[in-house]
């Protein structure tokens, strides 16, 4: 009996204690939910990145498609109405070149608004000095506040008639005569039997720049600009005489490399378009170098030139 009680006591001591059991199922579910949510967030982020990249790719494809469609349409217009298409193109690009020539110097170096601001500051400071009382006396009224004029970047002076003159010149004179020039230059090249390699662009560039076309086009530009500014024939002649040689030297530096590449790699029907695109820079240079003259200045310069000729 004593042995039975001893066995029972030892059995009770060695038995596993009945501690409260924690449910591991809920913890596993929460971990799975966290993993699922993190996986979902990563997938959404990756899908957003893919969608943004796909949108960028679609935008680039649409832009390239629109450009190709425009080029096809322009090629059709160039084949159907070559002169009129080049006239419209010349008007747009000559106007753009004059706009660049007017805006860029003011944006880069400041225009008349800066002088206005300086004059306003000086006038306001001088008025405040005038209102100062003599030494030893108190101020009866406070000095007027100093007001600043707009900065130079807020005001841009623009000459719309000047741009319209450039547009009219590109439309009515430069584009149609250039169309005739490039066809005539191609005819002369074929007629002279010049073919192959670098000989064709060298011949065309020499004929264009030194024989006839550069002299005609530059004289036409200065003459047309003077006529649209209201100058008479004598004043136009003296203007061309004064600036033609300097324009020619600038023309040779700027246009000979451009035209060598143009005559070498571009078909004849597109050579004028290359010139018109490059003329944005050339027109800006011409407009900056030879701005519109005032009538008083032109009249005085023409009278001075005529007096010099009579004295000689």
Q: Which runs of consecutive H residues, i.e. helices, occur in 110-193?
A: 112-130, 160-169, 175-191
Neighbours of 205 (CB within 10 A): 22
CA distance 48 to 54: 10
- Better-predicted residue by pLDDT, 239 or 34: 239
Neighbours of 162 (CB within 10 A): 20
Burial class (CB in 10 A: 0-12, 13-18, 19+), 304: exposed
CA distance 223 to 238: 10
* DSSP structural state of residue 158: -
Identify which of 273, 272, 278 has the alpha carbon closest to the alpha carbon of residue 254.
278
pLDDT of residue 287: 73
pLDDT of residue 102: 87
- Better-predicted residue by pLDDT, 100 or 38: 100
pLDDT of residue 140: 42
Contact 192, 238 (CB under 8 A): no
CA torsion sign for 297, 298, 304, 307 is negative
pLDDT of residue 242: 95
- pTM of the predicted protein model: 0.63
CA torsion sign for 161, 165, 170, 171 is positive
CA distance 202 to 224: 30
Identify which of 277, 290, 291, 288 has the alpha carbon closest to the alpha carbon of residue 96.
277
Percent of the chain scoring above 70 in pLDDT? 60
pLDDT of residue 299: 47
CA distance 268 to 266: 6
CA distance 64 to 168: 32
Query: What's the mean per-residue pLDDT of the chain?
Result: 75
């Amino acid at each position: 009996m004593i042995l039975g009680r001893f066995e029972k006591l030892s059995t009770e001591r060695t038995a596993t204690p009945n501690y409260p059991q924690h449910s591991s199922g809920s913890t596993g579910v929460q971990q799975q939910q966290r993993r699922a949510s993190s996986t979902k967030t990563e997938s959404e982020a990756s899908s957003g990145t893919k969608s943004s990249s796909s949108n960028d790719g679609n935008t680039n494809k649409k832009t390239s498609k629109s450009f190709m469609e425009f080029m096809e349409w322009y090629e059709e217009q160039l084949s159907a109405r070559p002169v009129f298409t080049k006239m419209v193109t010349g008007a747009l690009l000559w106007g753009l070149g004059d706009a660049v020539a007017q805006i860029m110097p003011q944006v880069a170096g400041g225009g008349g608004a800066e002088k206005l601001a300086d004059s306003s500051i000086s006038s306001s400071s001088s008025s405040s000095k005038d209102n100062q009382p003599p030494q030893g006396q108190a101020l009866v009224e406070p000095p007027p506040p100093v007001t600043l004029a707009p900065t130079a970047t807020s005001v841009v002076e623009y000459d719309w008639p000047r741009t319209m003159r450039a547009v009219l010149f590109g439309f009515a004179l430069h584009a149609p005569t250039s169309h005739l020039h490039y066809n005539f230059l191609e005819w002369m090249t074929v007629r002279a039997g010049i073919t192959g390699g670098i000989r064709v662009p060298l011949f065309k560039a020499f004929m264009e720049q030194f024989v006839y076309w550069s002299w005609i086009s530059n004289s036409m530009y200065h003459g047309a600009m003077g006529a649209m500014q209201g100058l008479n024939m004598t004043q136009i002649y003296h203007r061309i005489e004064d600036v033609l040689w300097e324009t020619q030297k600038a023309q040779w530096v700027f246009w000979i490399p451009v035209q060598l590449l143009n005559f070498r790699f571009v078909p004849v029907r597109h050579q004028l378009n290359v010139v018109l695109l490059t003329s944005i820079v050339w027109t800006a240079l011409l407009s900056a170098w030879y701005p519109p003259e005032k009538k008083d200045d032109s009249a005085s310069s023409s009278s001075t030139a005529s007096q010099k000729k009579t004295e000689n």
